[in-house]
Amino acid sequence: MPVAPDLKFPMKKMTLDKLLQTQGFGTRKACQQMIADGCVSLSGEVVTEYDDYLEPESLVLSINGQAWTCREHLYLVLNKPANYECSRKPSHHPGVLTLLPPVFLARNTQPVGRLDHDTTGMLLLSDDGGFIHRQSSPKHHVPKTYEATTHDPVTPELLALLSSGVKLTDEPAPLVALSCRQLDSHRIEIVLDQGKYHQVKRMLAAAGHHCDALERTAIGRLRLDVLALKPGEWCFLDEAQRALLMPAQ
């Protein structure tokens, strides 16, 4: 499992069983049993007592021989494959949470917004409610970059329409792309900051084009290609990377 040693961890002192519980390893009783069974090591030494107060920031912790970095909150990015649903209760396809370690689910980790089951690319996940709100709230105007593949060839008229605004039936005003450019004969890059439901596909449809494939390639100034994640892979985000998620000041 990836370990990011550069993350700060401001949690207060707590007992080992409580710390393991915050990390998603189960109930206090289950964590106490893990410790009693010799599954937990501190600084290379197996511990069997759980009631000493510890400083999470200074711990060198291992679970079943695997290094574990304690984190107050999880900030993850996943390269979402096709045919996965962004839901804790998926209905027709596997959920994206099945691509994460089970202990993350116990921490109430959830997708930040949603991508359609057939849309691929950059998806944030977290157990920090404040972070989720900042990233998903329309008032923060977080730009998101997509690469869309169109069924018919891209035309100058299509780019002009997306850049000037297209009217959707349930929107009071036309929706305008922050930027739009042609990548090749059937692909465009489009940047949006409104976060409307199925927005790219609906804007293309309103402009007379069908979207055959859609990938989110960036959020804010953080690009998926820089992270070098294959479809289905994920990684932790450090503070510097999280800062890139918001618009430049």
Are 105 and 59 members of one domain?
A: no
**CA neighbours within 13 Å on the CB side: how many for 90?**
17
Taking only the tens place, the pLDDT of each residue in 80-126 is 999 999 987 778 899 999 999 999 999 999 999 889 999 999 999 99
Are 162 and 187 members of one domain?
A: yes
Domain endpoint, select from 68, 92, 107: 68
Eight-class DSSP state of 230: P
Q: How far is CA 78 from CA 178, 201, 203, 216, in A?
A: 24, 22, 25, 11
Are 102 and 63 members of one domain?
A: no
CA distance 46 to 111: 35
CB 11 within 8 Å of CB 72: yes
CATH code of residue 206:
3.30.70.1560
Are 149 and 194 members of one domain?
A: yes
Q: Tell me what pLDDT residue 89 has.
A: 78
Residues belonging to the active site: 116
Q: Is residue 126 part of a domain?
A: yes
With cut-offs at 50, 70 and 90, classify the pLDDT of residue 2. Answer: very low
pTM: 0.87
196: containing domain: 143-219
Taking only the tens place, the pLDDT of each residue in 19-37 is 999 999 999 999 999 999 9
CATH code of residue 121:
3.30.70.580
Tokens of 33: 């049993």
Are 180 and 195 members of one domain?
A: yes
Domain endpoint, select from 43, 68, 93: 68
Helix (H) or strand (E) holding 241: helix 239-244
CA distance 163 to 68: 47
CATH code of residue 29:
3.10.290.10
With cut-offs at 50, 70 and 90, classify the pLDDT of residue 248. Answer: low
Q: Tell me what pLDDT residue 4 has.
A: 41
Q: Is 25 exposed, middle or buried (0-12, 13-18, 19+ CB in 10 A)?
A: buried
CB 150 within 8 Å of CB 172: no
- The count of structural domains within the chain is 3
Convert 163-226 into a string of H (helix), E (strand) and C (coil).
Answer: HHCECCCCCCCCECCCEEEEEECCEEEEEECCCCCCHHHHHHHHCCCCEEEEEEEEECCEEHHH
Q: Is 181 exposed, middle or buried (0-12, 13-18, 19+ CB in 10 A)?
A: middle
